[in-house]
Amino acid sequence: MTTPHRAAVLGSPIAHSLSPALHTAGYAALGLTGWRYGRHEVDEAALAGFVGGLDPAEWAGLSLTMPLKRAIRPLLDTVSDTARAVDAVNTVVLDRDGRRHGDNTDVPGLVNALRERGVHRVESAAVLGAGATASSALAALAEICDGEVTAYVRGPERAAEMRALGERLGVPVRTADWAAGADALAGPLTVSTTPVGATDGFAPGLTAAPGVLFDVLYHPWPTALAAACLERGGTVLGGLDLLVHQAVLQFERFTGVPRGPLAAMRAAGEAALAG
């Protein structure tokens, strides 16, 4: 009997995750009948036990969401330069020898999603927020932004963290007070990395012609900020764009398929959200 191939997304809470729908659709599109992708409620306290119990002959990889992107680091044998730079691992590839390799597909996923919408280079950019996703956004902007990135944050500690990360990534970062976040949308590109409702107050203050907004939320959608940008003729990308592009990269790493089925995985995500 052929050994099954398994992968899963871990996090807490996890019931809302669209990853099983995306990966399962990818398997179906390519006829990978021996593959299964699950969803497991795992918090930081349970992470080591769960990962330690995986059979490397059966398991190919893990997708990680909050609060596990940093907690996984001590359990890994190797960590990619990208994941190390942003101190966040969202992908673990397991080899047949039981070694665990950590990576971050959020960073290239952000870049690929922007390129799909025609955003290849910008003169400047802004980030709303300063958490783990903001770190990934800053790393992505280091690849496509020719000038300064302004990070709108709450408090001097977060401001210092973003400036330090910018130094490590080689991108100049200027910090600004969170209350002035609506000003970000006047620039060519803004990446919003905050929880639901955090940016709603910025919507009434938008300029008549906002730049590109990449809002990493996907439910509820559109956010108040995304809706305001669309109403004013701006280009808007959402969390599903990021989720699909980073999931395709995970799919490729887990299965060894050189080109994941982007269209099929996107359609599955859209159907899941509509349902």
Q: What is the pLDDT of residues 217-266, one digit of tens each?
A: 998 899 999 999 999 999 999 999 999 999 999 999 999 999 999 999 99
Answer yes or no: is 255 within a domain.
yes
Query: Taking 90 as the threshold, does the pLDDT of residue 125 lie above it?
Result: yes
The string of pLDDT tens digits covering residues 59-96 is: 999 999 989 999 999 999 999 999 999 999 999 999 98
Mean pLDDT to the nearest integer, 188-202: 95
Domain identity same for 221 and 179: yes
Same domain, yes or no: 180 and 85: no
| pTM of the predicted structure, to 2 decimals | 0.93
Q: Is residue 4 pLDDT above 80, yes or no?
A: no
Which residues carry out catalysis?
Answer: 69
What percentage of the chain carries pLDDT values higher than 90?
Answer: 91
Band the pLDDT of 3: cuts 50, 70, 90. low
What is the distance in angstroms between the CA of the first residue and the CA of the last residue of the chain?
36
Answer yes or no: do 125 and 222 share one domain. Answer: yes
Q: What does the angle CA 242 – CA 90 – CA 190 come to, to the nearest 5 degrees?
A: 35
116 — pLDDT class (breaks 50, 70, 90): very high
Q: What is the mean pLDDT of residues 131-152?
A: 95
Residue 115, domain member (yes or no): no
Q: Which residues contact 224 (CB under 8 A, 6 or more apart)?
A: 199, 200, 203
Query: Considering the domain boundaries, does residue 239 fall inside one?
Result: no
User: For the domain that residue 178 is a member of, what is the CATH number?
Assistant: 3.40.50.720
Considering the domain architecture, whether residues 64 and 124 belong to the same structural domain is answered as: no
Structural domain containing residue 184: 120-234
Instruction: Give residue 1's pLDDT band: very low, low, confident or very high (50, 70, 90).
Output: very low
We report the CATH number of the domain holding residue 35 as 3.40.50.10860
- The amino acid that residue 61 corresponds to is G
Are 155 and 259 in a shared domain?
no
Is the same domain home to 130 and 187?
yes
Q: Exposed e or buried b for every residue in 27-57, given b needs 16+ CB within 10 A?
A: bebbebeebbbebeebeeeebeebbeebeee
Position 19 in a domain: yes
Q: Indicate if 222 and 251 belong to the same structural domain.
A: no
How many H-runs (helices) and E-runs (strands) does the chain carry?
9, 12
% of the chain residues with pLDDT over 70: 99
Tokens encoding 36: 């299964």
H-helix segments, 68-202: 81-86, 106-116, 132-144, 156-169
Span 121-138, average pLDDT? 94
79 belongs to a structural domain: yes
Q: Which residue, chain included where needed, has tokens 């809002």?
A: 215
Residue 18, helix vs strand vs coil: coil
Residue 125 belongs to a domain: yes
Residues 59, 135 within the same domain: no
* Residue type present at position 65: T
- Per the prediction, the chain carries an average pLDDT of 95
Residue with tokens 């599955």: 268
How many domains does the structure of the chain reveal? 2
Q: Could you give the CA distance from residue 64 to residue 71 in angstroms, rounded to a whole number?
A: 10
